[in-house]
A and B are shown apart, each in its own frame.
Chain A
């Protein structure tokens, strides 16, 4: 079940939350601590969603989006981690790594669309008196719709590939009997995030 109706509707919902990253509001609906548990609940694995949400939130607390500095996308990372876990037969590290990779990949796409926006905005420069406000309104709609569609397409195209790798890599990992270590790892994983946050606060 690498591609199901469940994946489609979760992609639609997460893409909606994704608008909050940049194009609308910044109410923090997109934070890992919100998206992780939510995707977990929708996928029927709330505990794992929460664990991923907590870990990514702690790691991303000190990552600040200032000006042109764009970090790997945390929303994509956490939602891919949770979604891939469903196909991992209980292995935690592979979905986590795939989530982080997906976050980097989404960042590349984001950089591309931001460059595209630089070209699109010049449309208003050529506007006449009667059309300038209309064009600005249309640009705002363009921002919302293009971001939503971009994210939905990204999820629908990349997720089947990610889940395929998850299934096969997890099969490979379980052969090497480190599965039990990985189960123990879930208990202590939040400590890494806690250390990162403490370091960030102490430094400040």
Chain B
């Protein structure tokens, strides 16, 4: 059966529209699945109603990788419509896979890809001097960030996830594990650290005419590394701002 890919892909952007504590992403998940269920049960309104109700229960996973689960559920729903599996099997698979897929998404996207793109954008600005900061150059930086993040990460995952989930169904986690994601994450992380240290070095040279400021710059980095292991980031930031104001006052 032909997959209505465009409507499902578009609807997947609304996955968290009515995020709630009781069933989390349930409304968005059913909303994404409706074009497929309509196709499967075009002649059976009662069955369509039943399946929508069945999928209206608790659902929570990573918003980008939810496409994988949508694809998997589409395949299972197709099998269910032919009486090859029962409803319990569909629901069990959906619930069982949501956790591991969310873990992969959190680690790959939130912890690594988004952080890497953020560093990339920050360094784009830090590496240039203050004369660079015109509105046009700032907008160029914003566009660069959005293009890299979305076209090389976000959108392909959303789109290909539907096909991948549909084609591999329950085998999807095994297939993903073959990509050696751990090594990919390590490489991205190392590149991120290198870019950040290099940019910090260049930046500290640019302010080295005031030795005190350059020294304070590196002291801050070291203190933030040590403190943020113990305390929340916002608290570390507030503490160091107060410390810096006091030090700057004493050293003047």
**Chain A residues with a Cβ under 8 A of chain B:** 22-29, 31, 33-34, 37-38, 40-41, 46-47, 49-50, 54-55, 57-68, 72, 93, 96-97, 100, 114-115, 117-118, 120-121, 124-125, 129, 132-133, 136-137, 139-140, 142-144, 178, 180-182, 184-185, 187-204
**Contact: B49 with A180, CB < 8 Å?**
no
| Chain B residues, CB < 8 A from A25 | 13
CA distance A119 to B214 in the complex (A): 54
Complex Cα distance A195/B217, Å?
A: 10
* In the complex, chain B residues 1-59 whose Cβ is within 8 Å of any chain A Cβ: 13-14, 16-24, 26-28, 30-31, 34, 45-46, 49, 52-53, 56
User: How large, as a class, is the contact surface on chain B?
Assistant: 35 or more
A191 touches B17 (CB 8 A): no
Min Cβ gap A112→B in Å is 11
B97 proximal to A (CB < 8 A)? no
Evaluate contact between A124 and B56: CB separation under 8 angstroms. yes
CA of A23 to CA of B14, assembled, Å? 6
Please determine whether B31 and A137 come into contact, CB atoms closer than 8 angstroms: yes
Known A137-B31, A196-B237; contact A28-B146, beta-carbon cutoff 8 A: yes
Q: Across the interface, do A194 and B31 meet the contact criterion of CB distance under 8 Å? A: no
In the complex, 13 of the A-B residue pairs with CB atoms within 8 angstroms, ordered by the A residue number, are A24-B17, A31-B145, A40-B138, A121-B27, A139-B18, A143-B14, A143-B18, A187-B213, A188-B216, A191-B200, A196-B224, A198-B197, A199-B225
Check A202–B193 contact: CB distance below 8 A.
yes
A202–chain B nearest beta-carbon distance, Å: 7
Residues of A within 8 A of B200 (CB): 191, 194
Q: Are A93 and B18 in contact (CB under 8 A)?
A: no
**Which of A68, A143, A178, A188 interacts with B217 by CB under 8 Å?**
A188
B83 contacts chain A at the CB level, 8 A cutoff? no
Report the bound CA distance from A40 to B192 in whole Å: 27
Give the residue of B117, B224, B234 whose beta carbon is less than 8 angstroms from that of A199. B224
Chain A residues positioned under 8 Å from B238 (CB to CB): 97, 100
| B221 CB contact (under 8 Å) in A54, A181, A198, A203 | A198
A-B residue pairs, 4 tightest by C-beta: A195-B224, A143-B17, A117-B20, A181-B248
> Residues of A contacting B244 with CB < 8 Å?
185, 188-189
Interface centre among B18, B196, B221 (most CB of A within 10 A): B18
B207 interface contact, C-beta 8 A: yes
**Could you tell me the distance between the alpha carbons of A37 and B145 in the complex, rounded to whole angstroms?**
13
Closest to B52 in A: A132
B45 CB contacts on chain A under 8 angstroms: 129
- Is A114 in contact with B19, judged by CB distance below 8 angstroms? yes
Output the least CB separation between B68 and chain A (Å).
16
Which of A26, A57, A58, A60 lies in contact with B64, CB distance below 8 A?
A26
Contacts of A139 in B (CB 8 A): 17-18, 27
How far, in whole Å, are A108 and B60 apart by their CA atoms in the complex?
22
When distances are taken between beta carbons in the complex, the residues of chain A under 8 Å from B252 are 180-181
Max chain B CB contacts within 10 Å: which of A121, A142, A192? A192
- For the complex formed, measure the closest distance between the CB of B195 and the CB atoms of chain A, giving whole angstroms: 11
Q: Which one of B106, B134, B223 lies within 8 Å of A46 (CB-CB)?
A: B134
Which of the listed residues B122, B133, B236 has the most CB atoms from chain A within 10 Å of its own CB? B122
Q: Is B229 an interface residue (CB 8 A)?
A: yes
Residues of B161-213 whose CB lies within 8 A of A: 189, 192-193, 196-197, 200, 203, 207, 210, 213
Inter-chain contact A189/B225, CB cutoff 8 Å: no
- The reply to whether A118 and B20 contact each other, CB–CB distance below 8 Å, is yes
Is B75 on the interface with A (CB-CB < 8 A)? no
Q: B115: nearest residue on chain A (CB-CB)?
A: A61
By a CB distance below 8 angstroms, the chain B residues around A178 are: 245, 249
Q: Chain A contacts of B217 at CB under 8 A?
A: 187-188, 191
Q: Determine if A57 and B121 form an interchain contact, defined as CB atoms under 8 angstroms apart.
A: yes
> Do A197 and B248 have beta carbons less than 8 Å apart?
no
Give complex CA distance A66, B189 in Å: 20
